[in-house]
Amino acid sequence: MMNLIRKYNTAAPRYTSYPTVPYWDESTFSLQEWKTLLKKSFQATNDKDGISIYIHLPFCEKLCTYCGCNKHITINHGVEVPYIQALLKEWQLYVAAFEGTPRIREIHLGGGTPTFFSAANLTMLLEGIYRDAILLPDASLGFEGHPNNTTPEHLQTLFNLGFRRVSLGIQDFDIRVQEIINRVQPFETVATVVEHARRIGFTAINFDLIYGLPLQTTCGMQDTVDKVMQLRPDRISFYSYAHVPWIKGVGQRRYSEADLPKDEEKRRLYELGKLLFAKSGYAEIGMDHFALPDDELFIAAEKGELHRNFMGYTVTHTALLVGLGASSIGDNGYAYVQNEKQVSAYQELVSKGEFPIVRGHILNEEDQLLKGHIRDLMCTFETSWRKADTQCDAVIEGLQRLQELERDGLVEVMPEKVVVTANGRPFIRNICMAFDARLWRKLPQSQLFSQAI
């Protein structure tokens, strides 16, 4: 296995979309066509499935040096209200473009640090969204919370607004690791937040853990997982640390590659975590996720109903995902768009009554086919081209690229489908790459992605 890890540990996308953002064809994108497709998608899917909304809240009081998200570091909480006002103005642009009342199936508050915002200001934001929409009774609402500033008031307020999922960024409980990544949060602090969330009535608690962080050891990982198991979250996201200082800048230059676990060490950290999760009753779901048998993510995976979009794995299947806020990405099923990343520039565009979109991609027929195949591989570890409308030349080219992976026992290629083997699951990003026609036609001149393993 270690030989395969060395062989396939190359830069690879995480495939929350296809095409991936670096390979969007901006030359064929037009804002007017996107608006037409947005309305088309809304009219076709709103009554049946509703829509999803991702809201990016980028502010953080401190820089966590491992973080690859778009964030704005400040201790000035005076930024909250102006930013929320911009979010609600952007939402109004969407409501006007829909020409109908949106039915909300899913909301996710991401960051940054959503709990940077006061409970009162989060109420202002969400009530402003709800005012022009119908919140479906079975809507799935979740938010990301920082254990150090997620208060009982935050939890009670969001629960009252319909939220039942909270994702806590744990990363690691080893104090040496916490200090070097500038995210010190004692176990007792996390335990208090979890206790409050459960007492209030939250039914889905997720922990984000990261392997491959600087100074991590197998002993430290064992201790971290032991502490996690004392709190027993419903699901665990176990991500590989992406060390890309040439993209993310000064934060990730606080330490060097010498502080990071090497390939074999990093893989041992993952295998140890995976083993300990399994011993505690967690099942592996898709890529990087583990869940208890009564969690909705596990149930969806068992039924073959797991879905993946820009928010990651989800149980909802809305074709229309609206991205609100600086750097947010939207998907209307026919096209992708991304907002301006800088907060001030984002707010200025919205204040002018303009969609704050700075880039986009219109999916062609081949994109749609490959998007489906890659999504199926990421969610169910297999894909089929049995139907004529799932076939194209790019699929044939992808199958040719899978030949070496098949020889290595990572996939089984059949006449009308490909199945990822148990040994192949850790290499799912490499397997999806075989079908990434846009990547192969325009290989990057520099490293755009984190390592696959």
Provide the annotated binding site for S-adenosyl-L-methionine: 54, 66-68, 111-113, 144, 171, 183, 208, 242, 329
C-alpha separations of 322 from 147, 339, 363 in Å: 27, 11, 17
Number of H helices, E strands in the chain: 17, 19
Sequence-separated (6 or more) residues with CB below 8 Å from residue 342:
326
Task: Indicate the annotated binding residues.
Answer: 54, 60, 64, 66-68, 111-113, 144, 171, 183, 208, 242, 329
Query: Tokens 């602090």 label which residue?
Result: 189
Distance (Å, whole) CA 28 – CA 24: 9
Q: How far is the CA of 304 from the CAs of 116, 251, 381, 383, in angstroms?
A: 36, 39, 10, 12
Assess contact for 120 and 79: CB atoms under 8 A.
no
Instruction: Please give the Cα distance from 91 to 96 (Å, whole number).
Output: 9
- Say if CB 292 and CB 234 are below 8 A apart: yes
- Using only C-alpha atoms, the chain has a radius of gyration, in whole angstroms, of 21
Angstrom distance (rounded) from CA 312 to CA 321: 12
* Cis-peptide, bond into residue 19, ω within 30° of zero: yes
Cα–Cα dist 347/327, whole Å: 12
- DSSP letter (8 states) at residue 16: S
Q: Which of 162, 166, 156, 66 is nearest to 114 (CA)?
A: 166
195 is written with which tokens?
């206790």
Contact 401, 436 (CB under 8 A): no
Query: What is the separation, in whole angstroms, between the first and last Cα of the chain?
Result: 12
CB atoms within 10 A of CB 180: 19
* Residue positions forming the annotated binding site for [4Fe-4S] cluster: 60, 64, 67
The single residue listed with the structure tokens 């409050």 is: 196
DSSP string, 150-214: --HHHHHHHHHTT--EEEEEEE---HHHHHHTT----HHHHHHHHHHHHHHT--EEEEEEEES-T
